[in-house]
Structure 1
């Protein structure tokens, strides 16, 4: 009789155990929405490969370390810890190394803007997220990506504190920039100049930081609009924000400061008033100013520039 009752109870116990296992598995997984869909991943993954410096910057601010990183001749100075050979190189910023990914066998792979086009192939090697920021909502993208990483790695409180500070600083900059006049963002490279406006990769000068654009109809594209010194004189911005691509990638070239040492530039309001701001090239160009740490630092730099 007793044996019969025990045997009848076994399916019930088995069901309860199975339910408990499924529940535990569910509690240990997350479904993350990202730029290319939804991906189910495990919480607090132990082996993480990242093909994007901006995500590594955000992770560093949250106290998280990746195991797989981009192979690059230049490691951004704010991420100098990744110059150590103990980290596995899993490809360039553009091209994943699939053999390296296979050997690393990551629990999570995170792509950025330059590697996002390889998403479908990369996803075969592990759960993959595309955290490419939206160029029309850079601040919102940085906040969301920080929150996602905080959720994955159980750093929600740190993410909340840091994103609240970032948003507060951005609002402070918007207020301060409201009466500073117009601005124009330039990228110098190989002795040439390109201008970037609203909705571009460097458009956050206007979209996020609130600086009135000197020109509203600039070409929207990855490489901006090629411009001349005569164009700068005609646009006559109150402020020039200049970044040096050659310096960002460690290539010899005509320095941005040298290019701005020009009579036509000096004739602009920005040149005449000494209102030329040289943006930190690595964080703006290599990281698109889209990491939590670099965005906060660059907002702080602009606050100081405008406070003078």
Structure 2
């Protein structure tokens, strides 16, 4: 009887279907994963944003989620370290089927891969394209392809509305404030997707593409005299005390620019712009802000 039972189990094992797998594109190339992981740990805030939008609830994430809308949705998730220092013991205790890193946490890919399969979902220079590709990838991994298609269709519609509202709106400058310091960003930079999305002309072509932007002064802003100023407050994004963006910008020189005098200084949502940009909700929020600002502009 025992021999018959073992034979039956052997036959069942031979004819049982192999575990499903899915191949997805990542920042490190294509990776093959087991289909539909049940327990996921997320170290990238753009990934967290898009996964939550798809209805995927992470079992673990970083200790300090500074984006309020995301923090409210992961209150019950286990804390498994920081962007730069994963807690491998806590991660192992969580026993995830998949770990997602990206951006600031991408350097920890090798470390977390000791615990479970991990993917690097960092964005490349084309944020708009990569954001949609990542959503499609998550949809494939978690069996939510239909939901991913809906999110991307929504982004495409919002992008079309933004481009229509921004047509003929002039020249723009993107400024990041960090306490009393300021940096400017142009096409090809971490915030360059805004120029591409809106189809705007740069007020200061040829800016340094460095991660931290090109350091600027009030005199610089006055000299380039943008029609639009898009402002990201880094201190507010990371929850740091200190001088806010408006106080940093305010001076007689900046107040004399076309952007300031026309009321065309837009303070972008700091968390969405600096922390979770590329995530579905962040991109939707930012494109909505931009579209509303252009739509409300005085055409004269």
SS at match of 1:126: coil
Contact 2:24 2:140 in 1 (8 A): no
Deviations 1:194-218, CA, capped at 9 Å, x for gaps: 0011111111111223221111110
Indicate if the aligned counterparts of 2:66 and 2:237 stay in contact, CA closer than 8 A. no
State which of 213, 216, 220 in structure 2 corresponds to 1:227.
216
- Give 2:93's aligned residue: 103
Tell me the SS of whatever aligns to 1:115. helix
Q: Secondary structure at the residue paired with 2:82?
A: coil
The residue that corresponds to 2:160 in the other structure is 171
Tell me whether 1:24 sits opposite 2:5 in the alignment.
no
1:80-95 superposed matches below 5 A: 80-82=71-73, 84=75, 86-95=76-85
Contact 1:39 1:128 in 2 (8 A): no
**Number of matched pairs:** 291
In structure 1, the residue matched to 2:149 is 160
Q: Larger Cα Rg: Structure 1 or Structure 2?
A: 1
* Alignment partner of 1:199 is 2:182: no
Pairwise CA distance, 1:264: 0.5
1:280 to 266, 269, 273: 269
The alignment's TM-score, normalised by the length of structure 2, stands at 0.91
Taking the aligned partners of 2:196 and 2:189, their CA distance within structure 1 comes to: 9
How far the C-alpha of 1:118 sits from its partner, in A, is: 1.7
On the 8 A contact 1:150/1:159 being kept in 2, the answer is yes
Superposition map of 1:131-280 within 5 A: 131-134=121-124, 136-280=125-269
Q: What is the CA-CA distance between 1:15 and the residue it aligns to?
A: 7.4
2:279 aligned with 1:291: yes
Which of 68, 79, 90 pairs up with 2:60?
A: 68
The offset of 1:177, in angstroms, is 1.4
> Quick one: structure 1 residues 168 and 83, their matched pair in 2 at CA, closer, same or farther if it must change by over 3 Å?
closer
Residue 304 of structure 1 deviates from its aligned partner by 0.7
- RMSD of aligned residue pairs (Cα, Å): 2.0
Corresponding position: 1:77 with 2:68:
yes
CA distance in 2, matches of 1:184, 1:221: 16
